[in-house]
């Protein structure tokens, strides 16, 4: 599995005090699915793009938001269509930021949802922040995770999800996404999926990204989810066993039967977490769906690809001709 040193990831920082306790999670009521996203104004406002780095058997991701229409509420009836147009790739954090912005949530709301997972170490760990690339505003996630020594396998993580307070509609795709990840890693490394381990920060990071994305997806209640063919680029990815060509082996395994296209950049564009989530959430792959658009946002990560489009466009609305 690919891995990068945590210090190389601008949006994910390790606290200097390793023994610092996470802040208690705020209680959360079910946020409205419309309205505006509230920014946390205590973050850096540097321009960011889209980056991914991997811990052993997991990758780290980032995302971002821009609300185009301040007048239309997201509909709450059937026939709802959700689409993501990931021109420069996709990651768990990009998905988390985009869905949170569509749902009109702020950092406090996300902290409350993280509290449903029952892990004190995740409380106070995620914040939404405004980001901009080429003067186009959007939203991203900043995640701060404590250091821990636990190595969790698939069974351990499935137990955490099952014991948490998320609704069953969110638990099922979260468990499916982790199972898909473990199966791909097991095939790459020639071991049963039950023996695949998610190490330290990688485990916490994947639990946070996957569970919150599934939780937000359930809140938005789309009847159809459509993604563009996933962009891929050549380059080099750092793995636990050295440097490998991009896309990394686990990504290649997960991309089987998934439409892809070329991208004018270098390095990793799509992470294993993002692909597993797309599959677990039942995404279709194709062009823009016919829809009456009600709300759109842009989410960014931390890496900007030069001379290429950056960010992911998210839109939700009613199915229509």
- pLDDT over threshold 60, residue 98: yes
Of residues 235 and 68, which shows the higher confidence score?
235
- pLDDT over threshold 50, residue 7: no
Q: Classify residue 75: in a domain, yes or no.
A: no
What pLDDT, on a 0 to 100 scale, did the predictor assign at position 265?
Answer: 87
Other residues' Cβ atoms within 10 Å of the Cβ of residue 16:
6
What pLDDT, on a 0 to 100 scale, did the predictor assign at position 222?
Answer: 97
- pLDDT over threshold 90, residue 31: no
Q: Classify residue 3: in a domain, yes or no.
A: no
pLDDT confidence bin for 39, thresholds 50/70/90: very low
Q: Percentage of residues in the chain with pLDDT exceeding 90?
A: 55
78-82, 129-133, 268-272, 291-295: which has the minimum mean pLDDT? 78-82
What pLDDT, in 10s, does the model give residues 136-179? 999 999 988 887 667 789 999 999 999 999 999 999 999 999 99
User: Would the pTM of this model clear 0.85, i.e. be above it?
Assistant: no
What pLDDT, on a 0 to 100 scale, did the predictor assign at position 232?
Answer: 96
Number of domains in the chain: 1
Q: Classify residue 169: in a domain, yes or no.
A: yes
Q: Classify residue 248: in a domain, yes or no.
A: yes
What pLDDT, in 10s, does the model give residues 83-96? 999 999 999 999 99
SS3 assignment for the chain? CECCCHHHCCCEECCCCCCCCCCCCCCCCCCCCCCCCCCCCCCCCCCCCCCCEEECCEEECCCCCCCCCCCCCCCCCCCEEEEEEECCCECHHHHHHHHHHHCCCCHHHHHHHHHCCCCHHHCCCEEEEEEEECCEEEEEEEEECCCCCCEEEHHHHHHHHHHCCCCHHHHHHHHHHHHHHHHHHHHHHCCCHHHCEEEHHHHHHHHHHHHHHHHHHHHHCCCEEEECCEEECCCEEEECCEEEECCCHHHHHHCCCCCEEECCCCCCCECHHHHHHHHHCCCEECCCCCEEEEEEEEECCCCCCCCCCCCEEEEEEEECC
- pLDDT over threshold 80, residue 77: no
Q: Classify residue 17: in a domain, yes or no.
A: no
Q: Classify residue 57: in a domain, yes or no.
A: no
How far apart CA 309 and CA 121 sit, in angstroms, is: 35
Q: Classify residue 49: in a domain, yes or no.
A: no
- pLDDT over threshold 70, residue 205: yes
Average pLDDT score over the chain: 79
pLDDT confidence bin for 26, thresholds 50/70/90: low
pLDDT confidence bin for 197, thresholds 50/70/90: confident
What pLDDT, on a 0 to 100 scale, did the predictor assign at position 34?
Answer: 35
Helix axes 154-163, 168-189, angle to 10 degrees: 170
Q: Percentage of residues in the chain with pLDDT exceeding 70?
A: 73
Domain that holds residue 169: 80-319
């Amino acid at each position: 599995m690919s891995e990068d040193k945590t210090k190389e990831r601008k949006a994910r920082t390790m606290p200097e005090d390793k023994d610092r306790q996470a802040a208690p999670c705020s209680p959360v009521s079910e946020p409205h699915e419309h309205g505006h996203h509230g920014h946390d104004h205590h973050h850096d406002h540097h321009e960011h793009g889209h980056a991914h780095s991997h811990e052993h058997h997991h990758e780290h991701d980032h995302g971002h938001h821009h609300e185009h229409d301040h007048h239309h509420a997201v509909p709450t009836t059937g026939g709802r269509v959700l689409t993501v147009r990931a021109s420069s790739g996709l990651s768990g954090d990009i998905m988390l930021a985009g869905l949170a912005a569509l749902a009109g949530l702020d950092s406090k709301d996300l902290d409350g949802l993280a509290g449903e997972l029952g892990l004190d170490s995740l409380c106070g760990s995620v914040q939404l922040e405004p980001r901009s690339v080429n003067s186009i505003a959007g939203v991203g996630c900043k995640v701060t995770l404590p250091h821990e020594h636990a190595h969790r396998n698939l069974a351990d993580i499935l137990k955490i999800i099952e014991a948490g307070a998320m609704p069953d509609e969110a638990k099922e795709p979260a468990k499916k996404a982790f199972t898909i990840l473990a199966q791909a890693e097991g095939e790459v490394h020639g071991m049963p999926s039950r023996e695949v381990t998610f190490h330290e920060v990688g485990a916490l990071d994947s639990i946070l990204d996957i569970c919150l994305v599934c939780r937000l997806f359930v809140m938005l209640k789309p009847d159809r989810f459509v993604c563009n063919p996933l962009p891929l680029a050549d380059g080099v990815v750092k793995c636990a066993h050295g440097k490998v060509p991009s896309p990394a082996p686990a990504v290649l395994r997960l991309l089987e039967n998934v439409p892809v296209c070329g991208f004018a950049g270098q390095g990793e564009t799509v992470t294993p977490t993002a692909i597993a989530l797309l599959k677990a959430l039942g995404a279709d792959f194709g062009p823009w769906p016919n829809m009456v658009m009600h709300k759109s946002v842009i989410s960014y990560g931390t890496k900007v690809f030069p001379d290429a489009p950056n960010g992911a466009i998210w839109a939700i609305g009613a199915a229509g001709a």
